[in-house]
A and B are shown apart, each in its own frame.
Chain A
Amino acid sequence: MYGDTRTRRRERLDVQTTLRYKVHMNSPTPPPTADEPLASPDEALALIREQQRSVTERTLGGVPWILVMWAISWGIGFLALWSGYEGGNPWFQIPFVVAAWVFGVLLVAAIVVSAVIGARIGRGVRGASAFGGVVYGVSWSVSALSVYLIGAAIVRAGADASLMSLYFPAAFALVAGLIYFMGAALWRSIDQLVLGAIIIVTGTAAPFFGAPTNNLVMAVLGGGSFLIAAIVMRVNLRRR
């Protein structure tokens, strides 16, 4: 159809001024070079999808690792606490000091990993959405500090350690869940909405089990949901 040289020559001229789109393209085309007009709409759409998938992967690719880090931090950290309290883990006990250290170190590690990977997401981008990202980032540290200070005030007012071991995990979970809700609203992410809901339910339910069983609830439900969220997000990123 496009075999004769006259058509070819006309086409070459067309390249300069307009598109080169042929509906009935049967002959195989070489892959497009940088400035060459694309042959078919399929090819163009595929190129858009591939590029936008690559951008998502390169910006959000690290987020599942943040979630994995929180899964480890909650899963192992709260299991350690549960095994550190008297009347907790029936299979083995570890000294409470060790449990507290394990919990603390894993928590700090998760915060550091989140901050480092999180800072790389919006790298090189300025504007309206950057503001949202900064507010989101700041809300983590502000609310964590606030939960800690409120706890300190309650201790000062005379609450004993076993009561506080109910307060701290629940309060942190509530705050974390709400921040995931905020993330869901900012980035229109159902994944984050679901994760936020599970974390809030976990944090709210855990104190009803009493201390130290609340730590087991936090480890299994909280740690488990972070792990599932990490896997779901990884799969979604790849599929996009």
Chain B
Amino acid sequence: MSIALSAVNLKKNYNNVAAIKGINLEVKQGECFGILGPNGAGKSTLLKMIYGQVLPSSGDLFVLGLNTKDQFTEIKSRIGIVPQGDGLDTDFNAIENLKLFATYFKMNTNLALMRIEHLLHEMKLASHQYHHIDALSGGMRRRLAIARALLHDPEMLIMDEPTTGLDPQARLWIWTYFEKLKSQKKTIILTTHYMEEAEKLCDRIAIVDQGAILDLGTTTQLIQKYIGIEVIELEVGTEKNYWSVKIKSQGLDFQDFENKLFIYFQSVQQRQNFLEHIQNAHYLIRDANLNDVFLKAAGYQIRGNA
């Protein structure tokens, strides 16, 4: 079995409003797959369908070869989930949270205790294991939620915005840890709106907006396809029209972003040629990144509901 997840024309409507509009998707086993999108794009809804908190209106969804229509109990015994907001039980301390989860999974007690000790240690939580959940920092709580998701040694890990709201150190630690999980060939599906995170961790990325997949591929493929290799951020102020015409006449691709134009280049030579025509303007040259792809694919506008 090499396909970990497969969605076929998956749809979800809430009171006749489409939240997911026919998604087709395949995730391979051992792959780290990123779902990227702005707030309200349908990322969480899609994830919740994988673990059964949202039921599809139509279409099919298979997880580890099992049908989500009637095999949720088995699916959930084989996947680990880190939900948004961690969902820790605030009536108990850190180690009790893990012990409780082990009972929910009907794990063998000795095995559970071994796993818990191992994970508390690995997640650098051993010295805080008897602390109440409210006494843990955001980073610790997230690490505890990850430990909890790994308790039953799942084949697949699903994480909804795993580093949102964390400080840079905590985020970096989690990224390093995910690299380790990837080396263990665990399938990882995560949502994020941090391009850096997706770029660093994910083998493939789906850009999702308004309930549909806009595009899908590796980071390199997407950047190559949408942007090229370099970007010049040109400050144009009130002379936007003048510059737009000028750039268009050179056959270059660009995006309009407030008082700047982002101009995309397929080669260094192309960029050099362009720069020869520029005088008296502020600009910045940088590598093309996933951010450019995302902004181009999903559009620049900040939506009213975002």
The answer to whether A and B assemble together is: no
B residues sitting closer than 8 Å to A (CB atoms) are none
